[in-house]
Chains A and B, each alone.
Chain A
Amino acid sequence: QVQLVESGGGVVQPGRSLRLSCAASGFTFSSYGMHWVRQAPGKGLDWVAFIDYDEGKKYYVDSVKGRFIIYRDNSKNTLYLHMNSLRVEDTAVYYCARDQYYYDRRDFDYWGLGTLVTVSS
C-alpha cells in the first residue's frame, strides 16, 4: 500500500537550517509530483511547495521563496525539503503529499503522518 513517512523535524533556532525527508513506498514514486504542506499549531493547512515527477518544475509559496528548496531523489524514492533561514513563523507540522493529476482530477490523495518543526530561541 502507499506509504509516505516524513522525518527530520525538530527544534531549531531562528536563522538555522533543517532538512526534511519523505520516504515513499507502495507506488512508482518517479511517476508522481509531490507537495509539502504545513500546519501551524492549531491552525489550518498551508501549501508550501511542489515538485514535478522529474524535478523539471518547482513551485513555492511566496513566504518561503528563496529560503526553502524542494528536491527529490527518485533512485531512493525520497522527497526532501531543505529549509534555510528559519523563522519562528515556520513552526508547524510538515506533511508530504502525493499529487494526483488525472484528467479532471487534481488532489492530494495520500499524505504522510507529518513531522514537527519548532523554530525557537
Chain B
Amino acid sequence: DIQMTQSPSSLSASVGDRVTITCRASQSINIYLNWYQQKAGTAPKLLIYSASSLESGVPSRFRGSGSGTDFTLTISSLQPEDFATYFCQQSYSIPRYTFGQGTKLEIK
C-alpha cells in the first residue's frame, strides 16, 4: 500500500500569512495527488486535483505543486475561512485512494 505522510501535523499562522503544507508518498505517484479541506463537523471539500489543478470555485490563493513523491499545498494569503484541516490523497493506486494523516491549520 502507498503511504502518505503530511507535514507538519499542525500549524499556527495569522491572517495574511503564506503557508505551505507538504505531502510525501512512499513511492512515485506521478501527479495523482489531491488536496481536501475539512472544517470541523463538515465533509471534506476538494481543493486541488492532479497535483496542481484548481477545483472549480476554489479561490486562486490555493496552489498545488509537485510530482513523483513530493507535493506541496500553498495558501498565498490566509483568510479567516481557511483555518481548517487539510488532507492529501494519492489516487495512483486505483481505486484504493489513501489519505495523509492531515494538517490542522490554526489561528495564531
Contacts and interface: CB of A to CB of B under 8 A. Distances in A.
A68 to B, nearest CB: 14
User: What size tier do the contact residues of chain A reach?
Assistant: 20 to 34
Nearest to B101: A44
A117 B102 CA distance: 22
B94 A47 contact: no
B94 A45 contact: no
Most buried by A among B38, B95, B99, B101: B95
Main secondary structure of the interface of B (DSSP, over half): loop
Most buried by B among A46, A106, A112: A106
Nearest to A51: B95
Interface in B80-105: 87, 89, 91, 94-102
B44 interface: yes
B31 interface: yes
Main secondary structure of the interface of A (DSSP, over half): strand
B19 interface: no
Contacts of B11: none
Interface in B1-49: 31-32, 34, 36, 38, 42-46, 49
B43 A111 contact: yes
Given A95-B43, A113-B42, A107 B96 contact: no
